[in-house]
Chain A
Amino acid sequence: PVEQKRHDEL
Chain B
Amino acid sequence: MNLFRLFGDLSHLASIFILLQKIQSTRSCRGISFKTQALYATVFIARYLDLFYEWVSLYNFTMKVFFIASSCYILYLMKYKYRPTHDPSIDTFRVEYLLGPCVVLALLFHYKFTVPELLWSFSIFLESVAILPQLFLLQRTGEAETITTHYLAALGAYRALYIPNWIYRYFTEDMVDPIAVTAGLVQTALYLDFFYVYVTKVLQGQKFELPA
Contacts and interface: CB of A to CB of B under 8 A. Distances in A.
B177 A10 contact: no
A5 B176 CA distance: 10
Contacts of B175: 2, 5-6
B60 A8 contact: yes
B67 A10 contact: yes
B173 A10 contact: no
Contacts of B180: 6, 9
Interface string B161-173: 0100100010001
A10 B60 contact: yes
B30 interface: no
Interface residues of B, number: 21
Interface of B: 1, 5, 9, 12, 50, 54, 56-57, 60, 63-64, 67, 111, 162, 165, 169, 173, 175-177, 180
B54 A9 contact: no
Main secondary structure of the interface of B (DSSP, over half): helix
Given A2-B175, A5-B175, A10 B63 contact: yes
Contacts of A3: 111
A6 B1 CA distance: 12
8 contacts: A2-B176, A6-B111, A6-B177, A8-B1, A9-B5, A9-B162, A10-B63, A10-B64
A2 to B, nearest CB: 6
A7 B212 CA distance: 43
Which of B12, B50, B64, B177 lies at the interface centre, i.e. has the most chain A CB atoms within 10 A of its CB? Answer: B177
B171 to A, nearest CB: 14
A2 B176 CA distance: 8
A5 B64 contact: no
